[in-house]
Amino acid sequence: MAGLWTGAAALAAAGRRGRWWPHPLIRSVALWTVKHDPHHSRLYLVASRTLCSAGYDSSENTFDKILIANRGEIACRVIKTCKKMGIKTVAIHSDVDASSVHVKMADEAVCVGPAPTSKSYLNMDAIMDAVRSTGAQAVHPGYGFLSENKEFAKRLAAEDVIFIGPDTHAIQAMGDKIESKLLAKKAKVNTIPGFDGVVKDADEAVRIAREIGYPVMIKASAGGGGKGMRIAWDDEETRDGFRFSSQEAASSFGDDRLLIEKFIDNPRHIEIQVLGDKHGNALWLNERECSIQRRNQKVVEEAPSIFLDSETRIAMGEQAVALAKAVNYSSAGTVEFLVDSKKNFYFLEMNTRLQVEHPITECITGLDLVQEMIRVAKGYPLRHKQADIPINGWAVECRVYAEDPYKSFGLPSIGRLSQYEEPIRLPGVRVDSGIQPGSDISIYYDPMISKLITYGSDRTEALKRMEDALDNYVIRGVTHNIALLREVIINSRFIEGDINTKFLSDVYPDGFKGHQLTETERNQFLAVASSLFVASQLRAQHFQDHGNSRVPIVKPQVASWELSVKLHDEIHAVVASSRGPTFSVEVDGSKLNVTSTWNLASPLLSVNVDGTQRTIQCLSREAGGNMSIQFLGTVYKVRILTKLAAELNNFMLEKAAEDTSSVLRSPMPGVVVAISVKPGDLVAEGQEICVIEAMKMQNSMTAGKTGKVKSVHCKAGDTVGEGDLLVELE
């Protein structure tokens, strides 16, 4: 099960009786409950520690069958609620997704085309055929793909199929950033200064940017998710931003229109969850802090925000509801704001769909937003009033991606998950995912592996649980961003709440380098690594002793092991001795005791170092002494040799490092969009050589030095892998 969910049947009946509901899925957390207040004649959410709860009234008529027009974790997320509501589900999939988790979870599945999204998950004709052939009464679009496509909603309505989302008017009005900004002004919502029309070309973009004043944000009129967004600080960056943003917008949304607005420097990104019905009711469900971002895409979110006071929260919530009511909004949606250091807030955009980060709102309110969307789509009024909505506890979400965080805070990685274990056995942990061991992370879709959510009674508890969950998350086969996520949540600035949308670049101006070990942590790591090495040697001796060798093996009597451990180009002298499960280790003069079960077959190993408990992962052990160990979230490579082996190793020749200054290799898998040079061209350092598109993001590849192009090894349209040679310089 990808996450811990609790619920109860017969919400209304139980609410009338004022009962508390036990549930077989509960482990170490209590269940949310709903009580009836006879003085107010309505249901109240009574909060207790949990990850999410909702009442499912089996007598409430909704839909018999829903088609989910999406894939991956969000499709799985919708299917879970549908199952609890007694609704049958239909999954759609591309040919490469035929064995995906969401396909297996659904009651029915229909292939809608080949891998490219334009031919499958964006293929409206094929999806409409799937709706007809399965008899689905409604469609839930998830997020991304067709979730904010008014034409898709219109086509469904024309065939009397319910679109589980707002009506086409709201999608049109709020999905277009230009129109939504005008409507926001009319609804008296604070807005960012900028140009309210469509930018025609790069020259006009420069003129407008100069009038507004740098810096400016160039952004796609349609869509969201950080696609088609660029910050420009001068005319040259405006021209480049116009080109890349329009290309990304066309690729992601089929709409290359752009707008320009003033960029608010050092802002927080705080959004308000709203929920409306078809009867004129609308609620705001508190805020989410989403300021930790890379390339305008969120990485870590939390609810509530540590920054907002009650007065600002209410003002933002009321403006969000005013905007929703201005377009008769009926579904779950999100109004995003930029908030400056003085708590001034400005409307950014409205997402007319379910947000990726919706689980943290569910954790602190007890509402199941997918269930609410389904009820609203069926025509039911909201069950709660604004006074009913609590803020109970704290929730944090980390987006776990198949990305290399050491490259621009996360360039995509692809591969097959050879081993995969979610940390759902820990208290207060929920994982929303759509993968399993053996799943492929491909270049065709978003590289998200999962959404890791932790809940606690307060922020400190939620963050500690997140730290433990990240340490206990096993992901093998692809590069992932666990190290970056863990560093963010333990960073002193983050803990103090001193964050903004430039947090990553401010904290890591030279790029992310992984966890920097203190002297104490370094000694702990060296002690653990040495203990692992000795434990593996002792196990090997144990196997030899029980073998059927025709030649007797004399067991060496080793009282202690003298080792040479290389970490970060530094050699450390280590002496280790064992007493049962405990190793006594001397590292550079410091003595430590390391205790564990030493189950070397387990992907997770809990070790105690002088009373400090750590969860580590040994990713690899080689006969030559090389080991890769995940410690405090970061993977460290060490080489451990016995004293004799280290002395002999000094006679080995060092392998010369490759000179990479004259070659350009692809830093990620992707598709070549454009080549800007040809053999014989002179290029300057930093000049664009080509553009690679990966997971719908355009990435400009530049020359590492000044020189003449010797050869070009790719052309527009080619698919390239990480490390593939693109261009050589003389």
pLDDT in tens, 656-693: 777 778 899 998 888 899 999 999 999 998 899 999 98
Q: How many angstroms from the chain centroid is the CA of residue 552?
A: 55
Give the pLDDT of residue 558: 63
Q: In what order do the strands lie in the sheet with 138-140?
A: 108-113, 88-94, 65-68, 138-140, 162-163
Higher pLDDT, 500 or 26: 500
Asked which of 18-32, 111-125, 153-167, 498-512 is least confident by mean pLDDT, the reply is 18-32
Give the pLDDT of residue 670: 87
Give the pLDDT of residue 660: 78
Left (φ > 0), alpha (ψ -120 to 50) or beta: where does 494 sit?
alpha
% of the chain residues with pLDDT over 90: 69
Is 455 exposed, middle or buried, given 0-12, 13-18 or 19+ CB atoms closer than 10 A?
buried
Confidence of residue 15 (pLDDT cuts 50, 70, 90): very low
Given 248, 287, 336, 349, which residue is catalytic? 349
Give the pLDDT of residue 557: 55
Confidence of residue 11 (pLDDT cuts 50, 70, 90): very low
Confidence of residue 579 (pLDDT cuts 50, 70, 90): confident
Dist CA 506 CA 503 (whole Å): 5
Q: What angle do CA 274, 280, 284 make, to 5 degrees?
A: 20
Give the pLDDT of residue 543: 58
Confidence of residue 615 (pLDDT cuts 50, 70, 90): very high
Higher pLDDT, 630 or 622: 630
692 Cβ neighbours under 8 A, 6+ residues apart = 666, 668, 670, 671, 672, 673, 698, 699, 701, 720
CA-closest candidate to residue 666, choices 716, 713, 710, 725: 725
Question: 304 preceded by cis ω (within 30°)?
Answer: yes
Name the average pLDDT for the chain.
88
- How many beta carbons lie within 10 A of that of residue 321, not counting itself? 22
Confidence of residue 224 (pLDDT cuts 50, 70, 90): low
Give the pLDDT of residue 195: 83
pLDDT in tens, 318-343: 999 999 999 999 999 999 999 988 89
Could you identify the residue written with the tokens 């609590």? 390
Give the pLDDT of residue 651: 83
Listing DSSP states for 119-151 in one string gives GTTT-HHHHHHHHHHHT-SEEE--SSTTTT-HH
Amino acid, single-letter form, for residue 579: R
Whether residue 722 has pLDDT greater than 60: yes
Dmax of the chain from CA atoms? 90
Whether residue 32 has pLDDT greater than 70: no
Higher pLDDT, 350 or 58: 350
Annotated active-site residue 349? The verdict is yes
Confidence of residue 559 (pLDDT cuts 50, 70, 90): confident
Could you identify the residue written with the tokens 């094929």? 126
DSSP label at 264?
A: -
Whether residue 40 has pLDDT greater than 80: no
Helix (H) or strand (E) holding 522: helix 519-545
243 Cβ neighbours under 8 A, 6+ residues apart = 202
Whether residue 27 has pLDDT greater than 50: no
Whether residue 10 has pLDDT greater than 50: no
Give the pLDDT of residue 7: 34
Whether residue 586 has pLDDT greater than 80: yes
% of the chain residues with pLDDT over 70: 89
Give start and end residues of each alpha helix (H) in 444-518.
459-471, 482-490, 492-496, 503-507
Confidence of residue 26 (pLDDT cuts 50, 70, 90): very low
DSSP label at 380?
A: P
Asked if residues 32 and 50 have their Cβ atoms less than 8 Å apart, the reply is: yes
CA-closest candidate to residue 268, choices 507, 510, 490, 497: 497
Whether residue 393 has pLDDT greater than 90: yes
Whether residue 309 has pLDDT greater than 90: yes
pLDDT in tens, 360-373: 999 999 999 999 99
Confidence of residue 198 (pLDDT cuts 50, 70, 90): confident
Higher pLDDT, 539 or 252: 539
Q: What are phi and psi for residue 587, nearest 5 degrees?
A: -120, 115
Give the pLDDT of residue 246: 85
Confidence of residue 4 (pLDDT cuts 50, 70, 90): very low
CA-closest candidate to residue 638, choices 545, 500, 525, 485: 525
CB contact burial 547-557 (16+ within 10 A = b; e otherwise): eeeeeeeeeee
510 Cβ neighbours under 8 A, 6+ residues apart = none
Amino acid, single-letter form, for residue 106: A
Whether residue 241 has pLDDT greater than 50: yes
CA-closest candidate to residue 697, choices 229, 293, 239: 229
Mean pLDDT of 174-180: 81
Dist CA 508 CA 524 (whole Å): 25
Q: What are phi and psi for residue 150, nearest 5 degrees?
A: -70, -30
Give the pLDDT of residue 60: 86
**Beta bridge partner(s), residue 288:** 271
**Beta bridge partner(s), residue 218:** 230, 260
Record the tokens describing residue 402, joined without a space.
């198949």
Strands (E), 252-326: 258-262, 268-276, 282-294, 297-303
Higher pLDDT, 115 or 539: 115
Give the pLDDT of residue 48: 34
Dist CA 462 CA 442 (whole Å): 32
Mean pLDDT of 29-54: 38
Confidence of residue 551 (pLDDT cuts 50, 70, 90): low
- How many beta carbons lie within 10 A of that of residue 9, not counting itself? 16
Confidence of residue 650 (pLDDT cuts 50, 70, 90): confident
pLDDT in tens, 251-273: 777 777 888 988 887 899 999 99
What is the value of pTM for the model shown?
0.82
pLDDT in tens, 703-721: 888 999 999 999 999 999 8
Give the pLDDT of residue 42: 34
Asked which of 12-16, 124-128, 142-146, 633-637 is least confident by mean pLDDT, the reply is 12-16
Whether residue 549 has pLDDT greater than 90: no
Q: How many angstroms from the chain centroid is the CA of residue 91?
A: 22
Mean pLDDT of 150-156: 96
Secondary structure class of 719 (helix, strand, coil): strand
Is 608 exposed, middle or buried, given 0-12, 13-18 or 19+ CB atoms closer than 10 A?
middle
CA-closest candidate to residue 609, choices 621, 599, 628, 596: 596
- How many beta carbons lie within 10 A of that of residue 444, not counting itself? 19
Listing DSSP states for 604-672 in one string gives -EEEEETTEEEEEEEEEE-TTSEEEEEETTEEEEEEEEEHHHHHHHTTSPPPPPP--TTEEE-SS-EEE
Asked if residues 585 and 592 have their Cβ atoms less than 8 Å apart, the reply is: yes
Q: What are phi and psi for residue 192, nearest 5 degrees?
A: -85, 135
Whether residue 133 has pLDDT greater than 50: yes
Dist CA 34 CA 46 (whole Å): 6
- How many beta carbons lie within 10 A of that of residue 207, not counting itself? 15
Asked if residues 533 and 618 have their Cβ atoms less than 8 Å apart, the reply is: no
Asked which of 102-116, 171-185, 508-522 is least confident by mean pLDDT, the reply is 171-185
Confidence of residue 46 (pLDDT cuts 50, 70, 90): very low
